[in-house]
Structure 1
Amino acid sequence: MTRQVPADAGRSQARQAAIILKVAHAMASHGVAALPRNYELFYDALSGRLPQLSRELAALGSNPPQDALDALGLKHHLVAHAALAADRARTAGQETLGEIAGKLRLALLQKQVFKDELDHFAGRLAADPVAGLSEFADDAARLRDAAGRLTNEESALQHTLETSARRLAELEGDLAESRRSLTRDPATGLPNRLALTAKLDAILETERTDQPVALLLASVEGLREMAEHHGGPVAAKALAKLSALFRKSIKKNDFVARVGQQDFAFVCRDVSAENAEVIARRLRQSVTELTVTLPGRTHTAETLSLAAGIAIAQPGSTSADLLSQAELALAGARDGTGILCYSAAFGRGRSAA
C-alpha cells in the first residue's frame, strides 16, 4: 500500500523554509557573518525553540560582535558551538599548563641557586674551618636569603598548582558539557536524535532476541501551532510539562528523547507489540489531559494530542531500520488512526485508536 506524505508535512516544510529565509534576512540586516554557528544561533532564536535565547539575542541590538554571539551560543550549549567550546577549553588548558611549566622552571632555578649557595658555604667551611665570625655571618646571611627565595617560589608554585587544578577541573566540566550538547536537546534537556541512534545501536548489539525492543515515535500535535500562535514562552511551558511527563512515564531502563520540534521517541525493552500499544495509549491519554494556560488568560488553556508509530525490533534490525519503520507507522497514525504499529505487510498493520 502506497502512502502519501501527510498534508501537515508539506505545511511543516513551508514553515521551515520561511524560518530559514527569516534567519538569512535577520543575519544580513544585523551585519552578522555567514558562519554556520551563527545560522544555528539565529535559527534557534527565531524559531521560538529557545525563548530565553531569543530575548538575549534581541538585547544585543544591531551589528552584535562575534564574541557576544559566541558567548550566547556557548551559554545555551548549541551543537554548532561545541567545537568552539572545545577549542577554547584546549587553548585555556595549554595556557594553564604553560603557566605551570614557567613556575616549575623558576622553582627549579631557585633550588639551584640555593644548592650553589649551600655548596659554597660548605666549601668555605671545609677550606677554612676557623674563618672569621664576620665572614661566617656573611655566608650564613646569603644562605638564609637563598632559602627565603626558595620558600617563596615553592609557595608560589603551590598556589599555581592549586589554582591550575581548579581551572583544569572547570575546563574538564566545560568539555563534558560541550560533549553533552551534541547529544542533548537544549530546550528540554532530553537526549536528542543523535543520542537516540547511539542508544538503539548499543541496545540492538547486546539485547537478547527473547527480550524484544520497541521504538515508539510520537508526535505531539498542536505544539508547533501553539508556538506560532501564542509565542515561544507558551511553547516552552508546554515543552517543560511534556518532558516532565515523559520522564515519569517510562521505566528506569527505558529511554526518551526529543527528536524534532514536536516529535519524541521512546525506547522500551522487553515489550511486545501489544504492550507497546498500551504504553502509547497511556502516553496519548496523558498528553490529552495536559493543559497549558495562556498569559493573562487564567481561564483559557490550550490542549494537545498525540499520534504514535510503533516499530518492534526483529533479529538483525538496525537503528536505521527501526527509525524508518516507526516513521512510516507515525505517518499512518497521523492519517487518523492515532496509534499504528508497523508490520512487514504495512498497510495491514495493526492499529489502536
Structure 2
Amino acid sequence: MSAHGIAALPRNYELFYEALSGRLPQLSRELAALGLNPPQDSLDALGLKHHLVSHAALAADRARAAAQETLAGMASKLKLALAQKQTFKTELDRFTGRLADDPVVGLSEFADDAARLRETAGHLLNQENALQHALEASAQRMAEFEEDLAESRRSLTRDLATGLPNRLALTAKLDSLLETEQTDQPIALLLVFVDGLREMAEHHGGTVASKALAKLSALFRKSIKKNDFVARVGQQEFAFVCRDVSVENAEAIARRLCQSVQDVKVTLPGRAHTAETLSLAAGITIAQPASTSADLMTEAELALAGARDGAGILSYSAALGRGKTYGQNAA
C-alpha cells in the first residue's frame, strides 16, 4: 500500500484485502483503475459502494452530515417563508387599517394598496411553492439516507462472501431467543466446520473457493426451517440455530448436513470432469434455562473440537463432558 501512496488506515487494509481476495471482482477492477496515489476520497467511495464493514461508520457519518445539511437548508427556506408571511400580514394590516380610518379613500390610492398587497401575496405563494418542493426533495433525500444507513447496518451483520448473517448477527439472534423462548421449546446450536475450503482456495484459487461458498450457502439456506437461522461465523465455520428440537433431532439434522455437504461437487476451471469434494464436522449444544449466548458458543466450540478430532458429530453434555458421538459417515 505504501508503494502506491495509500495511507495505512484500517479501512484501506480491508479494501485491499477484499480486492485481492478475488471475492469481489468488480471492486478489484475499480481499485486497479484508480492507479497510483489514488485520493482517499476515491478509495472511500469504493468501500462505501461495496458496503465494506470497515466503512459502515464512515457511511453513517456522511449520512448524518448530509442530513444535517438538508435540515439546515429546510430551516433556511422555512425562515424565508415565515418572513414572507410576516410581510404579507403587515401589508394586509396596513391596508385594512387605512380602510378603517378612511372608508372613502381615493380610488387611485386603493388601487396602489391593492397592487402592493397582490404583489406580496404572489411572493408569498411562490415562496410557499418553493418550500413545498424543498420539503418533497428533502423527504426523498432523507429516505435515501435511511436506506444507506440501513445498508450500513446490514453490512455489520452480514458475511460479505455469502450474504449470510455473520457472528455478530448470530449472537444477537441467540440473545433474542434466549430472552423470549419458552423452556419447553428447546434451542439447539449446531456449529459446523467445512473441511476442505481452505485447501481449495490455496490449491485452486479464490474463484473456486467462492463457487464452493455459493453452493454451501444456498444449500444451508434450504436446509433450515422457516423460523431457524444460519450464519457464517468463520472462514470455514457455519452455525445453525434450530428451535423446538431435541438432542436427537439436532443430531439427525447434523447427519443430513454432513451427507449434503459430501454430495456437493465443485468443478475446477478447465477440468469439467474433475470436481473437488468437501466434508463436515458438527458440534451440538442445547440451551439450558440459564444459558447465555456466550455459554452456547463455548459449548458448541468444545463439541466441534471433539467432532473434528474424529467423532464427526458430537453433542455437548455438561454432565458427561462428552455426549454421544457418531462416525463421520454415520447414517
Normalising by structure 1, we get a TM-score of 0.87
Q: How far apart, CA to CA, are the structure 1 residues paired with 2:227 and 2:36? A: 48
Answer whether contact 2:303 2:322 (CA < 8 A) is retained. Answer: no
Q: How far apart, CA to CA, are the structure 2 residues paired with 1:60 and 1:336? A: 49
Q: How far apart, CA to CA, are the structure 1 residues paired with 2:251 and 2:23? A: 30
One-letter code of the match for 1:132?
Answer: G
One-letter code of the match for 2:232?
Answer: R
Q: 1:252 aligns with which of 222, 226, 232?
A: 226
Residues 56 and 307 of structure 1, relative CA distance in 2, 3 Å threshold: farther
Aligned residue number for residue 132 of structure 2: 158
One-letter code of the match for 2:96?
Answer: A
User: How far off its partner does 1:310 sit?
Assistant: 1.2
Q: 1:286 aligns with which of 238, 260, 265?
A: 260
User: How far off its partner does 1:52 sit?
Assistant: 3.8
Q: 1:173 aligns with which of 147, 152, 157?
A: 147
CA distances 1:84-123 after superposition (whole Å, capped 9, x unpaired):
1111111111011101101101111111111122122222
Q: 2:269 aligns with which of 295, 300, 309?
A: 295
Segment of structure 1 superposing worse, 49-58 or 158-167: 49-58
One-letter code of the match for 1:291?
Answer: K
Q: How far apart, CA to CA, are the structure 1 residues paired with 2:318 and 2:273? A: 47
Residues 306 and 55 of structure 1, relative CA distance in 2, 3 Å threshold: farther
Gaps of 5+ in 1: 1-26
Segment of structure 1 superposing worse, 315-324 or 52-61: 52-61
CA distances 1:24-44 after superposition (whole Å, capped 9, x unpaired):
xxx222222122222222233
- 1:1-353 paired onto structure 2 within 5 Å: 27-344=1-318, 348-353=322-327
Q: How far apart, CA to CA, are the structure 2 residues paired with 1:197 and 1:76? A: 24
Segment of structure 1 superposing worse, 96-105 or 332-341: 332-341
CA distances 1:107-160 after superposition (whole Å, capped 9, x unpaired):
111111111221222223223333332222222211111111111000000000
One-letter code of the match for 2:214?
Answer: A
Secondary structure of the structure 2 residue equivalent to 1:251: coil
Secondary structure of the structure 2 residue equivalent to 1:176: helix
Q: How far apart, CA to CA, are the structure 2 residues paired with 1:99 and 1:237? A: 48
Secondary structure of the structure 1 residue equivalent to 2:281: strand
Answer whether contact 1:51 1:232 (CA < 8 A) is retained. Answer: no
Q: How far apart, CA to CA, are the structure 2 residues paired with 1:351 and 1:303? A: 23
Answer whether contact 1:212 1:272 (CA < 8 A) is retained. Answer: yes
User: How far off its partner does 1:328 sit?
Assistant: 1.8
User: How far off its partner does 1:51 sit?
Assistant: 4.1
Q: How far apart, CA to CA, are the structure 2 residues paired with 1:44 and 1:287? A: 26
Q: How far apart, CA to CA, are the structure 2 residues paired with 1:62 and 1:332? A: 49
One-letter code of the match for 2:158?
Answer: R
Segment of structure 1 superposing worse, 342-351 or 288-297: 342-351
Q: How far apart, CA to CA, are the structure 2 residues paired with 1:182 and 1:332? A: 31
CA distances 1:49-95 after superposition (whole Å, capped 9, x unpaired):
44443333233222221112212222222222111111111111101
Aligned length: 327
Residues 176 and 101 of structure 1, relative CA distance in 2, 3 Å threshold: same
One-letter code of the match for 2:149?
Answer: L
Gaps of 5+ in 2: none
Secondary structure of the structure 2 residue equivalent to 1:91: helix
One-letter code of the match for 2:17?
Answer: Y
Answer whether contact 2:315 2:322 (CA < 8 A) is retained. Answer: no
Segment of structure 1 superposing worse, 255-264 or 305-314: 305-314
CA distances 1:10-37 after superposition (whole Å, capped 9, x unpaired):
xxxxxxxxxxxxxxxxx22222212222
CA RMSD of aligned residues (A): 1.9
Segment of structure 1 superposing worse, 145-154 or 291-300: 291-300
User: How far off its partner does 1:347 sit?
Assistant: 6.6
CA distances 1:283-305 after superposition (whole Å, capped 9, x unpaired):
11111112223334333332222
Answer whether contact 2:316 2:323 (CA < 8 A) is retained. Answer: yes
Answer whether contact 2:314 2:322 (CA < 8 A) is retained. Answer: no
Answer whether contact 1:259 1:265 (CA < 8 A) is retained. Answer: yes
Secondary structure of the structure 1 residue equivalent to 2:192: strand
